[in-house]
Amino acid sequence: MHYLHTMVRVSDLDASLKFYCDALGLRELRRTEHEAGRFTLIFLAAPGDDAAQVELTHNWDESGYTGGRNFGHLAYAVDDIYAACQKLMDHGVLINRPPRDGRMAFVRSPDGISIELLQHGPALAPAEPWASMPNTGSW
């Protein structure tokens, strides 16, 4: 398993970049605009430490977050998304968003923290039981 990033939702992108970059000293690594989904992703890191990233997610139509909704998830790359999910299930963990696409899954910690698992490298071919497993709860 390899740590990828922590995601934080932001309401005001300009104010957030001033805080994270200008004041805190992080630097922008990459940015993607998703017109169809109406959101922007910006990945930041401390100088000299590109491996530990913060993902700022700006949902264009969001007017503000309450109740911890601004914290998104922890993300890890795994060598085999299906084996990782099976191991979690064997330990009694509910797979909230199964890896139907062979690429991405979400689970929650006992405290409700969302954890994203991403297949390292190309997505695996869709396989059962994952391909037909429905989402459960929120992720």
Residues taking part in catalysis: 116
For the chain, the 3-state helix, strand and coil shares in percent, each to the nearest 5, are 15, 40, 40
Contact 138, 96 (CB under 8 A): yes
Helix (H, G, I), strand (E, B) or coil at 137: coil
- One DSSP character per residue, 1-48 reads -EEEEEEEE-S-HHHHHIIIIIIT--EEEEEEEETTTTEEEEEEEETT
